Structure 1
Amino acid sequence: MTRTLLPLTLLLALTACSPEGGGEEAATSLSTPPPKTTALAVRTVRAGEGELTVPRTVAATLEAGRDSNVAAQAGGTVIRVLVQEGERVTSGQGVVQLDDTAAQQALTSARLGLQQAELSLRQARDAVDAARPALEASVRAAELGLRRARQEAQDAQERYDDDQITQAQLLAAQAGQAQAESALAQARNALAQNGQAGAGSPEALELSVQSARAGVTQAETALARTVVRAPFAGVVVSVAAEVGEAVGQGSPVFRLVEAGNVRARFTVTPADAAALTPGTRLNLDAGGQTYVAVVNEVSGVAGSDRLVPVTARVQGGADLPVGGAAQVRYRATVGGGVLVPSSALSVDGGESAVYVVEGGVAQRVPVQVDAEARGQVAVRGLDAGAQVITPVPGSLQDGARVRVAGGGA
């Protein structure tokens, strides 16, 4: 009898040791619905408007602000080189001396000719002045004679009217008046023509003096041109003529570059050239130093290489070697509009899009990419200020619940 009751007693004891209400919890667990899907944690950035720029570096050549191959203005033989290569010269300073023997002789002859012309003019004027008193006296005498002749003719007319003289006597008195009038006219004409006619007149000799002066000026110019001078202040880079060498008019004699005014010449794409307007400041690296270069000229026409030439003046680059190489650095605008990180862009089926967070839900927004550089893209189709998801999780779907981790930027 004892063996039969033992299993039952053990079963009651195990039941008494179990927790209270265990059956209710099991029932509750079975009736509870499954939890909702967990929101995907994402990070966002605020889409902003701006320009997308990229750094550019192009090779440049250093040039002088003015670089001239100075030519001789007259032909001749080089007798002296007045300046050595590498020396600085001032504007108008002589660099090469040509033989000036013939020019000196021509100038001496021209000056003698001028002196002779001036002497002849003085003599002619003296002669005119000397003749004037006598001619003026002749005019006065003729005027007096005319007054007398007129009076005699008037008296004769009155006496003839009174039958005191004959008609022949009247005609003789009238002829005397006519002769006196002619004599006065001749005297006045002689005075007026004093020194006015002939090759030896002062007027003609004045023209000779002017011509002689022009000859002297021309000879002086020819003599001055026997010295080939610097047209502006600068450095004589090279001298092409040697002593004893004959040079022709127009032949290059030396090369002169302007000191203290160095330019950088380089080429850029037409798109970059449109932004590099005169006055734009650039960085120029040369000789281990960085200088500021200011754009002063942009060609409006691209070359055969489809690049546009640009020149910029280098500030503080007076000691840079002309003809040397340099690097020009600047920033070029490649696009603009609404900017987002490149990691925010997703491409599906050839269509670009970004995901924005609205009310805790990811919304897919198709966009058009205008430009991309340095980890950013300029897009159209997106409003500035939108909270854009970046980077885009691989499992993200349009309309998915998201949770911004750490807040949007």
Structure 2
Amino acid sequence: MTRPRWPLFPLTVCLALTACSPGGGEGATRLSTPPPKTTALAVRTVRAQEGELTVVRTVAATLEAGRDSNVAAQAGGTVTRVLVAEGERVTTGQPVVQLDDTGARQALTSARLALQQAELSLRQAREAVQAARPALEAGVRAAELGLRRAREEARNAQKRYDDGQLPEAALLAAQAGEAQAESALAQARNALAQNGRAGAGSPEALELSVQSARAGVTQAETALERTVVRAPFAGVVVSVGTEVGEAVGQGSPVFRLVETGEVRARFNVTPADAAALAPGTRLNLDAGGQTYVAAVQRLSGVAGADRLVPVTARVEGGAALPVGGAAQVRYRAAVGGGVLVPSAALSVEGGESAVYVVGDGVARRVPVRVEAEARGQVAVRGLDAGARVVTPVPGGLQDGARVRVAGGGS
């Protein structure tokens, strides 16, 4: 006889109800879902600091001599000799080019002869004055004696006339003799005073002639000196721009002279960088495989057509560097200031720059304005110095997220 099969449904339901009942046992506890937990994101931080952001710039420079001059002729003429070869060193005042000086020498000879003639005429005039003086002085003495006698005779005549012993005509004749004696003395004295002072042959006039002749000699000597083109300073004759037999005009360049004792570097910078390159500022200069120190000497302060400011710097110990060679100048320039943070700390969302600042275990997003960026740092505004800034910013970091500073954060 077959045993009947009981349905399993009531047992399944019973087990399900037991599992769901509050008093379900130990097995029921293991099957319940625990509440979710919030995990803090590990980040690293740095302290934001106030400062100025600088950058090292490198610009091309040209090496120049301390003095570089295209020496010009001070007079026109034909070149008769070139006394120095290109590349030769010369001293101050050393002749380099000789122009034809025939005319200048003749003019100097004539001027010297004219001076000698003028001096001779002056000497003769002075001798004549000295020779005439004794006679003129004797004439004055004789006239003085004659006047004394005439006055004495006039007084006696007046006394005798008053006594009735002399007629009036004799008195008048004695008085006329006194007047003539006075006139003769005046003439003698005037002749002595005018001795050698009147006329073109007087010593005074001839002295002016001598002075004029001396000026003519000086002018002729200067003209002769200008036929020699000399080195205005010690240096090396880089090039000679004329040849023997060639005519040069006054003011025409004849040779180029450079002073090799000092080398300068010339370069251009932006107006913003020029503000930081005051005279005396020290720079680094790379040339010929070596690094030199250069000091700014001058800068124009006015940008040229290329909107760059020319700067000249003296190269210390660079006397052996080739004039006209190329070099590289390195200097540090400020690009902006503010609160400095690493570039990796900057987050840009929706066109707005921001950083994340950690405080009390929470990251807060702080919008900032970027002033400058260089060398892995950013200068920003809108952030307090000393703030702990997250860097680098991990992906998915949100404003208000809980964080914990990992080891190594400052």
Q: TM-score, normalised by structure 1?
A: 0.90
Task: Show the counterpart of 1:144.
Answer: 145
Task: Show the counterpart of 2:378.
Answer: 377
The within-5 A match list for 1:9-88 is 34=35, 36-88=37-89
SS of the residue corresponding to residue 362 of structure 1 reads strand
The within-5 A match list for 1:245-284 is 245-284=246-285
Q: 1:38 to 1:175 in 2, by over 3 A?
A: same
> Hey, which bits of structure 1, 4+ residues long, moved more than 3 A?
23-36
Task: Show the counterpart of 2:337.
Answer: 336
Per-residue CA shift, 1:17-60, capped at 9, x if unaligned? xxxxxx99879889997475222211111111111111111111
1:325 aligns with 2:288: no
Task: Show the counterpart of 2:357.
Answer: 356
Q: Distance in 2 between matches of 1:153 and 1:361?
A: 142
SS of the residue corresponding to residue 261 of structure 1 reads strand
SS of the residue corresponding to residue 280 of structure 2 reads coil
| Letter aligned with residue 304 of structure 2 | G
Q: 1:41 to 1:234 in 2, by over 3 A?
A: same
The within-5 A match list for 1:6-405 is 34=35, 36-405=37-406
Shift of 1:158: 2.7
Q: Distance in 1 between matches of 2:159 and 2:28?
A: 179
| Letter aligned with residue 270 of structure 1 | P
Q: Distance in 2 between matches of 1:256 and 1:276?
A: 30
Shift of 1:68: 1.5
Q: Distance in 2 between matches of 1:104 and 1:24?
A: 138
Q: Distance in 2 between matches of 1:384 and 1:365?
A: 13
| Letter aligned with residue 206 of structure 1 | E
Unaligned residue ranges in structure 2 (runs of 5+)? 1-23
Per-residue CA shift, 1:171-221, capped at 9, x if unaligned? 212211111111111111111111101111111111111111111111111
| Letter aligned with residue 188 of structure 1 | R
Q: Distance in 2 between matches of 1:292 and 1:373?
A: 25
SS of the residue corresponding to residue 275 of structure 2 reads helix
| Letter aligned with residue 283 of structure 1 | N
Q: Distance in 2 between matches of 1:25 and 1:335?
A: 68
SS of the residue corresponding to residue 267 of structure 1 reads strand
User: Which deviates further from its counterpart, 392-401 or 118-127?
Assistant: 392-401
Q: Distance in 2 between matches of 1:52 and 1:141?
A: 107
Identical aligned residues as a percent: 87
Q: Distance in 1 between matches of 2:133 and 2:87?
A: 68
SS of the residue corresponding to residue 400 of structure 1 reads coil
Q: Distance in 1 between matches of 2:78 and 2:138?
A: 64
SS of the residue corresponding to residue 51 of structure 2 reads strand
Q: Distance in 2 between matches of 1:243 and 1:407?
A: 81
Q: Distance in 1 between matches of 2:271 and 2:329?
A: 16
Per-residue CA shift, 1:122-161, capped at 9, x if unaligned? 1111111111111111112212222222222223223323
Shift of 1:395: 2.2
Q: Distance in 1 between matches of 2:170 and 2:350?
A: 141
| Letter aligned with residue 158 of structure 1 | K
Q: 1:34 to 1:162 in 2, by over 3 A?
A: farther
Shift of 1:389: 0.9
The count of residues paired between Structure 1 and Structure 2 equals: 387
Shift of 1:85: 0.6
Q: TM-score, normalised by structure 2?
A: 0.89
| Letter aligned with residue 99 of structure 2 | L
Q: Distance in 1 between matches of 2:398 and 2:161?
A: 149
Q: Distance in 1 between matches of 2:329 and 2:104?
A: 51
Task: Show the counterpart of 2:13.
Answer: none
User: Which deviates further from its counterpart, 323-332 or 370-379?
Assistant: 323-332
RMSD: 2.0
Q: Distance in 2 between matches of 1:222 and 1:187?
A: 51
User: Which deviates further from its counterpart, 260-269 or 208-217?
Assistant: 260-269
Q: Distance in 2 between matches of 1:289 and 1:138?
A: 96
Task: Show the counterpart of 1:7.
Answer: none
